[in-house]
């Protein structure tokens, strides 16, 4: 696939990869993905916005050459430095000896370690900075944790175009560049939701902050880093509305109670804790997940988008059980910092599971409520009452 003109002097020069099925080792991409990159030409200067994954460098460089000489590029804008957008930078710089890299302060630190180059031609971008290309200028908005600490948005006012890197993105590739070409809209919407859940769901509060920026801008085209370019009258209004809906919903969200239960004892405690939480926080706030009955893609979204969470495990061979540890390994430590958590479990001999989970969650900087609740073998009526009251207390302290 070669370059695509989006507007006058603005081109898509990225990579389409409809065959990709696993992104970044862990993320299923049923509909492939794209690594989007854009060239913006002013009357005096040329900017390249985002680069590409190192694996596709040669094809990517050829796409750039279709619309400009790389040596004529003045600015390389990196709105976010994850290697799918910065992996080709080291080689690209050899072709662009006159380019300055425009990047946020955290991004500048990442780039030094990503490229292992000491003399990167960096210009640190601060909130409100802009650069003039001649007849077109790029305005920058710092947008941390969307979805990395380095994230920022680039806005091209003259053409009403937003370049927000992963924000509003999707792993979807039919393979066409523009949303006007999407044939399977339902599949696109499903991929868009999956991407939001995996990448931005854990950062709902930052999504709100990002929307507060973009809502003030006049935008008729969103050029994200993955998925189709989004245009007014096609998918643009849909994606903006959905981000609003989803982050609002998540702000009020639910408190999942996860558990594994060998003989139904830990399950009984889970249900009583959930009842206690819902008594205080509202009818359907808490809901139980038997970990073994759900896929980790679902569990991961549930824990990372929660307002608070509860985890229960029996103790088997002096430890929590493997599915519980697998769930804990899904926790996004950045997004869950200070997230309230409660731990519980039934045990037979010694009950190491609860303190082990408490310690791990504290290592992840979650705000663990007390030392958790341990019940020996089958919960008595009193144990169940205590579990119910513990759920209430946990909810009252949120
Ligand atoms: Fe597409 Fe966060 O990189």
Per-residue DSSP letters for 253-266? --EEEEE--SSSHH
C-beta of 51 in contact with ligand 1 (< 6 A): no
Contact 151, 80 (CB under 8 A): yes
Q: Which residues contact 298 (CB under 8 A, 6 or more apart)?
A: none
pLDDT recorded at residue 1: 53
C-beta of 226 in contact with ligand 1 (< 6 A): yes
pLDDT beyond 80 at 235: yes
C-beta of 45 in contact with ligand 1 (< 6 A): no
The CB density around residue 341, as the number of other CB atoms within 10 Å, is 25
Tell me: the pLDDT tens digits for 147-171? 998 999 999 999 999 999 999 999 9
Burial class (CB in 10 A: 0-12, 13-18, 19+), 354: buried
pLDDT recorded at residue 227: 98
Confidence of residue 253 (pLDDT cuts 50, 70, 90): low
Tell me: the pLDDT tens digits for 319-335? 999 999 999 999 989 88
User: How far away, in angstroms, is 293 Cα from ligand 1 center?
Assistant: 30
User: How far away, in angstroms, is 249 Cα from ligand 1 center?
Assistant: 24
C-beta of 82 in contact with ligand 1 (< 6 A): yes
pLDDT recorded at residue 130: 97
Q: Counting atoms of ligand 1 from 1, which one is nearest the CA of 83?
A: 3
pLDDT recorded at residue 209: 85
Confidence of residue 252 (pLDDT cuts 50, 70, 90): low
Q: Counting atoms of ligand 1 from 1, which one is nearest the CA of 35?
A: 1
The mean pLDDT of the chain is 93
C-beta of 150 in contact with ligand 1 (< 6 A): no
* Residue whose pair of structure tokens reads 């290592």 in the numeric block: 363
**Average of pLDDT values for 303-328?**
94
| CA-based nearest residue to 310, from 274, 257, 364 | 257
Rounded to whole angstroms, how far apart are CA atoms 151 and 154?
Answer: 10
C-beta of 85 in contact with ligand 1 (< 6 A): yes
Tell me: the pLDDT tens digits for 74-109? 999 999 999 999 999 999 999 999 999 999 999 999
pLDDT recorded at residue 25: 65
User: How far away, in angstroms, is 82 Cα from ligand 1 center?
Assistant: 5
Token output for 376? 């020996």
Kindly report the protein residue whose alpha carbon is nearest to atom 3 of ligand 1: 82
Tell me: the pLDDT tens digits for 26-54? 678 889 999 999 999 999 999 999 999 99
DSSP one-letter code for 180: G
C-beta of 84 in contact with ligand 1 (< 6 A): yes
pLDDT beyond 60 at 308: yes
Kindly report the protein residue whose alpha carbon is nearest to atom 2 of ligand 1: 82
User: How far away, in angstroms, is 239 Cα from ligand 1 center?
Assistant: 18
C-beta of 374 in contact with ligand 1 (< 6 A): no
pLDDT beyond 90 at 300: no
C-beta of 171 in contact with ligand 1 (< 6 A): no
Tell me: the pLDDT tens digits for 352-391? 999 999 999 999 999 999 999 999 999 999 999 999 999 9
Rounded to whole angstroms, how far apart are CA atoms 44 and 271?
Answer: 66
Token output for 89? 């930078």
pLDDT recorded at residue 96: 97
Token output for 172? 């979807």
């Amino acid at each position: 696939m070669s370059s695509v003109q989006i507007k006058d002097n603005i081109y898509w020069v990225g990579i389409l990869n409809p065959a990709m099925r696993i992104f970044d080792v862990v993320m299923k991409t049923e509909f492939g993905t794209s690594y989007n990159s854009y060239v913006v030409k002013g009357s005096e200067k040329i900017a390249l916005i985002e680069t590409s994954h190192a694996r596709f460098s040669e094809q990517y460089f050829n796409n750039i050459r279709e619309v400009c000489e790389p040596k004529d590029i003045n600015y390389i804008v990196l709105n976010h430095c994850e290697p799918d957008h910065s992996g080709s930078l080291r080689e690209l710089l050899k072709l662009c000896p006159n380019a300055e890299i425009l990047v946020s302060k955290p991004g500048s630190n990442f780039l030094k370690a990503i490229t292992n180059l000491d003399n990167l031609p960096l210009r640190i971008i601060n909130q409100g900075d802009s650069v003039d290309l001649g007849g077109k200028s790029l305005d920058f908005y710092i947008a941390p944790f969307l979805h990395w600490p380095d994230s920022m948005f680039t806005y091209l006012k003259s053409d009403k175009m937003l370049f927000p890197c992963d924000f509003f993105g999707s792993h979807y590739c039919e393979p066409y560049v523009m949303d006007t070409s999407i044939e399977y809209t339902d599949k696109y919407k499903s991929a868009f939701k999956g991407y939001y859940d995996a990448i931005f769901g854990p950062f709902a509060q930052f999504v709100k902050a990002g929307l507060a920026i973009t809502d003030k801008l006049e935008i008729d085209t969103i050029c994200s880093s993955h998925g189709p370019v989004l245009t007014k009258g096609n998918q643009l209004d849909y994606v903006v509305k959905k981000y609003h809906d989803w982050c609002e919903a998540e702000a009020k969200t639910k408190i999942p109670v996860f558990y594994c239960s060998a003989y139904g004892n830990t399950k009984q405690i889970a249900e009583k804790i959930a009842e206690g939480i819902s008594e205080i926080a509202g009818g359907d706030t808490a809901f139980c997940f038997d970990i073994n009955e759900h896929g980790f893609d679902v569990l991961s979204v549930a824990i990372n988008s929660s307002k608070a969470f509860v985890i229960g495990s029996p103790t088997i061979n002096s430890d929590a059980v493997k599915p519980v540890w697998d769930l804990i390994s899904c926790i996004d430590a950045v997004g869950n910092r200070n997230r309230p958590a409660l731990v519980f479990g039934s045990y037979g001999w010694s009950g190491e599971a609860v303190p082990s989970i408490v310690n791990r969650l504290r290592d992840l900087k979650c705000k663990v409520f007390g030392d958790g609740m341990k019940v020996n073998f089958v919960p008595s009526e009193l144990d169940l009452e205590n579990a119910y009251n513990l759920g209430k207390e946990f909810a009252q302290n949120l």
